Amino acid sequence: MAGDIVYFDLETRRTANDVGGWGNKHMMGISVACTFSTRLNEYSIYTQDEAPALIRQLKEADLVVGYNHIGFDYEVLKGHDLLFDPADLPHSLDLLIDLEKTLGHRIKLEAVASATIGAGKTADGLDALKWWQQGEVAKIAEYCCYDVKVTMCVHQYGVENGHVKYHDRNGREQIAKVNWPRI
């Protein structure tokens, strides 16, 4: 039986400016977090109050895959569990970090997803913040789950093909070789 890959993303309640800068990600709060488990073959949606259950799912995964989740999402989670330590999740693949090592610069998920799978993001984090202020949590959940699906499709494409595509800063399609684990 294959191991459990958990694809993960979260949206926040506040911006970096709202909390005094990027060094205070732990104060941004969680509006909605979303995962997809390959073992369960289902999405799960978590609110800030359910952060302990989210962290438990991440710890139990054989591999956690996200896009900028190590540098951002895990830092946000630190504000919701005093005992949470990203080092407890050694089996994490951050597609952004991996692609940055290959390309020498950061690249947006939109640039990778649109070139690789022909589907981009449906909104951005600022839209999610606006929805939070308007009390439209269902919109945030839909957007967050869609980002998880896009991340999963990009990861699966990379595993199967040994590369992903992306649009460079000039809009040209390029290829980045990847060696992402198959579990």
Whose tokens are 């997803």? That residue is 113
What tokens appear for 48 in the block? 């800030």
Render pLDDT for 98-109 as a digit per residue (tens, 0 to 9): 999 999 999 999
CA distances from 52 to 13, 20, 33, 46, 56 (A): 18, 25, 12, 10, 6
Taking residues 10-17, report their average pLDDT. Answer: 93
The Cα–Cα gap between 6 and 58 comes to 7
Confidence grade of residue 1 (pLDDT, cut at 50, 70, 90): very low
In this predicted model, what pLDDT tens digit does every residue of 111-147 receive, in sequence order?
999 999 988 766 667 788 888 889 989 999 999 999 9
Neighbours of 106 (CB within 10 A): 11
pLDDT at 52 (0 to 100): 93
Residue 13 pLDDT class (50, 70, 90 cuts): very high
Token pair 């830092």 in the structure block, residue: 75
Query: pLDDT value at position 122?
Result: 66
Q: Which structure tokens are listed for 150?
A: 């896009």
Distance CA 10, CA 73 (A): 6
CA quadruple 27, 28, 32, 37: dihedral sign: negative
Note the pTM of the prediction, 2 decimals. 0.91
- According to the model, what pLDDT value does residue 29 have? 94
How many Cβ atoms are within 10 Å of 50's Cβ, its own excluded?
Answer: 17
Task: Express each pLDDT in 56-92 by its tens digit.
Answer: 999 999 999 999 999 999 999 999 887 888 888 778 9
Percent of the chain past pLDDT 90, that is, above it, reads 77
Question: Each residue of 22-58: pLDDT tens digit?
Answer: 999 999 999 999 999 999 999 999 999 999 999 999 9
**179 φ/ψ sector (left φ>0, alpha ψ -120 to 50, else beta):** beta
> Could you give the CA distance from residue 10 to residue 19 in angstroms, rounded to a whole number?
17
Q: How much of the chain exceeds pLDDT 70, in percent? A: 96
Q: How many CB atoms lie within 10 A of CB 139?
A: 18
pLDDT for residue 102: 93
Rounded to an integer, the average pLDDT of 138-158 is 94
Please report the pLDDT score of residue 133 as a whole number: 87
CATH no. of 5-177: 3.30.420.10
Interstrand relation of 173-177 and 163-167 (parallel, antiparallel or unpaired): antiparallel
Distance CA 156, CA 101 (A): 19
Phi and psi at residue 10, in whole multiples of 5°?
Answer: -145, 160
Bridging pattern class, strands 30-37 and 42-46: antiparallel
pLDDT at 88: 81
Instruction: State yes or no: pLDDT of 179 exceeds 90.
Output: yes
